[in-house]
Amino acid sequence: MSSPLPSSRAASVLDLAPVVPVVVVDDLADAVPLARALVAGGLPAIEVTLRTPVALDAIRAIAGEVPGAVVGAGTVIAPGQVGDVVAAGARFLVSPGWTDALLEAMRASGVPFLPGVSTTSEVVALLERGVREMKFFPAEAAGGTAYLKALAAPLPQARFCPTGGITPGSAPQYLALPNVGCVGGSWMLPKDAVADRDWGRVEALAREAAGLSAGGTCR
């Protein structure tokens, strides 16, 4: 079974590793070996996006067959998806955005969640609702490190997992910010490596990503 989170707070997701792999599983047969490679490389928190027909089964397989993995569900955009992914074994939830109905469903699930934001007003609205840990998406398109740096002074209580357009070169700049706990990315899962089932290459790239560290007060 997958490892438990250190606590029930979303902050524990932010602190598991500096990088959360964002995974799109097209072939269910790839789910377990791919996850094993990521965990072996030092990236235990794995976000499986709900973008393919096999996503739920992939979450179920990883949760049941990959020791050390903390598998979560990404691209959660409807309240009705929450129960399904938690039943499949998701240990955390990530959304690209949020509504009150979706937020209520994620909160009621009992597992950590990272609602997506891209504006200051959305951040303030979540803080008003008692949520301090968020996904910043799409990170590069929404203003990148400059935007997050600007948010740190007036809204220091908010912590982020920026995702969207982040590369091995830009990741350290994000992780150096005091309000960033980790980043999401898929660069450790190049399409050709997955197509060739070159899990050794995936593990090596995961190990490089795991070697990054967050700055400021986040880690």
CA atoms within 13 A of residue 2's CA, in its CB half-sphere: 26
Do the beta carbons of residue 41 and residue 203 sit within 8 Å? yes
Place of tokens 């960033």: 180
Active site residue 149: no
How many residues make up the chain in this entry?
A: 219
Active site residue 47: yes
**How far is Cα 132 from Cα 130, in angstroms, rounded to an integer?**
6
Instruction: Point out the catalytic residue in the list 47, 133, 140, 191.
Output: 47
CB count in 10 Å sphere of residue 154: 10
Instruction: Point out the catalytic residue in the list 135, 191, 203, 208.
Output: 135
Which residues carry out catalysis?
A: 47, 135
